[in-house]
Amino acid sequence: MKIITIIGARPQFIKSSILSKTIGKYSEINEVIIHSGQHFDSNMSEVFFEEMGIKKPKYNLKINSSQKGTTMIGRMIEKCEAILKIEKPDLVLVYGDTNTTLAGALSANNLNIPIAHVEAGLRSFNHFMPEEINRIITDKISTYLFCPTQKAVENLMKEGLSENQKIFKCGDVMQDAAFYYAEKSAIKSNVISKINLSKFILCTLHRAENTDNEIKLRSIVNSLNEIHKTTPIVLPLHPRTKLKIQELGLNLNVNIIDPVGYFDMMELLKKCALVLTDSGGLQKEAYFFKKNCVTMRDETEWVELIEKKVNIIVGSEKDKIVNGVNLMLNQKSDFTSDLYGNGNACHIIVKEISNK
């Protein structure tokens, strides 16, 4: 059996690293990896392959996120289809909700190749988010829908399925990765000694709905500057966000560091007092490491975190962000619920696709 895995962004590298290790235990499965190039900066891409021992991609399309969404997706489809015609896989595997995800799924669908979507069924119910459209379309054309949560299963059931689609509640592969790499990160990362802070807030900021909106970005930057006066903020700054801040001439007065690899991020998560983010995946990772989270968006696909009151939505308004941070910094939360499986998501996924 031949599987083509199509990845291109940081969260996909992490998910692929742990799932590919499980695939490698099945001698009857041959996995070929295509890297779209969506995250092309060495700190956003190469470091993950090196430190996590990810199988090297056979193909790198070198189509990066400096291009506009529709142009990027179109070029990815064109190149992916050409490769799929050569490789003739039995299955195409995609992760999450990026442009790479959608392009990979559409390429396979155009050639009538079955698709497995890992992290299926997530919904923010905000159709202005490109990621929401990406995940909806990918779910609609996938044969195997691997859901991380019960809520994701329910979302798909409400939307309806075609006859050939199969839903599996497998748990979250990101939790598999967190469990697997937790000890390794403590040995291999020195980021905590570099930042030299006993208490800090870990922040990430990259979502287009924030960075491409001048009013929202100005408000968020002002919020971070205000919070940093009392509790230091450590911000691994995404290249695209950095460019937007420079273009607007904004003054960001926090501890800015270069984008970090997964091991450094894990150590930052372990040691931080709070997570402040507009990322999707980091909201979950905060829970894995028993940290409260403040999300700078208007909604989240990880609704179970809101229900557990370990995460709050604050949008982009300064007062809401500052107040949310002050609230969650002092809140004692319960992290004992098994929201994302028990660390065997990869085994479930590979077992199902190997039975194809």
Q: Which residues pair with 147 in a beta bridge?
A: 169
Quick one: pLDDT at residue 66? 65
> Residue 53's pLDDT is what?
79
DSSP 201: E
Cα distance between residue 209 and residue 192, in whole Å = 30
**Averaged pLDDT in 10-residue chunks for the chain of 356 residues:** 94 91 93 89 65 86 78 95 98 96 98 98 92 96 97 96 95 94 91 96 94 97 98 94 96 95 94 96 95 97 95 98 97 94 94 88
pLDDT of residue 54: 79
Q: Where are the CATH 3.40.50.2000 domain residues in the chain?
A: 2-172+341-354, 184-329
Nearest alpha carbon to residue 237 among 229, 248, 228, 246? 246
The pLDDT, as a whole number, for residue 257 is 97
Computed from CA positions of residues 104, 105, 109, 112, in that sequence, does the dihedral angle turn out positive or negative?
positive
Pick the CATH number of 2-172+341-354 from 3.50.30.30, 3.90.180.10, 3.40.50.2020, 3.40.50.2000: 3.40.50.2000
pLDDT at 220: 98
At 298 the pLDDT is: 95
Give the residue among 308, 304, 310 at the shortest CA–CA distance from 151. 304
pLDDT at position 356: 67
pLDDT computed for residue 39 by the predictor: 73
Active-site residue among 35, 206, 228, 238? 206
Query: Among 2.60.40.10, 3.90.105.10, 1.10.3720.10, 3.40.50.2000, what is the CATH number of 184-329?
Result: 3.40.50.2000
pLDDT at site 15: 93
Based on the residue annotation, tell me whether 117 is a catalytic residue of this protein: no
pLDDT reported for residue 43: 53
